[in-house]
Amino acid sequence: AQRVTQPEKLLSVFKGAPVELKCNYSYSGSPELFWYVQYSRQRLQLLLRHISRESIKGFTADLNKGETSFHLKKPFAQEEDSAMYYCALKRPGNTPLVFGKGTRLSVIA
């Protein structure tokens, strides 16, 4: 069965510092990987997906199949980035998203 691991429950960084939220997955096939974000008092929402190879709000994530990782990175953290971040995996086809346990990012001014 597929599994998503986010090793850090809480990550605190200073404003302007680089940030990397780690995500590792276990799945033998070709998954789709996503990052979802939940800001304070807001709904969970899609941040980015690996298939789009996009940068959203300065965040990027590269799928590394060799290391089975999909780490989320941003070169300069902002206070408004403080939120709960979830990595998620989807197997091909009509299958549900499987989420990691989440990492709470706290950006300190």
Partner 1 sequence: DSGVTQTPKHLITATGQRVTLRCSPRSGDLSVYWYQQSLDQGLQFLIQYYNGEERAKGNILERFSAQQFPDLHSELNLSSLELGDSALYFCASSSRTGLNEKLFFGSGTQLSVL
Interface residues with partner 1 (CB under 8 A)?
Answer: 32, 36, 43-46, 49, 51, 86, 90, 92-102
Min. distance of Cβ 17 from partner 1 in angstroms?
26
Judged by beta carbon, residue 52 or residue 109, the one nearer partner 1 is 52
Q: Which two tokens stand for residue 92?
A: 């091909």
How far apart are alpha carbons 79 and 17 in whole angstroms? 11
Helix (H, G, I), strand (E, B) or coil at 50: helix
- 24-61 burial, b if ≥16 CB within 10 A, otherwise e? bbebeeebbbbbbbbeeeeeeeebbbbeeeeeeeebeb
Min. distance of Cβ 14 from partner 1 in angstroms?
26
Residue 5 CA from chain centroid, whole number: 10
Min. distance of Cβ 11 from partner 1 in angstroms?
15
Judged by beta carbon, residue 15 or residue 56, the one nearer partner 1 is 56
How far apart are alpha carbons 41 and 54 in whole angstroms? 26
Min. distance of Cβ 59 from partner 1 in angstroms?
17
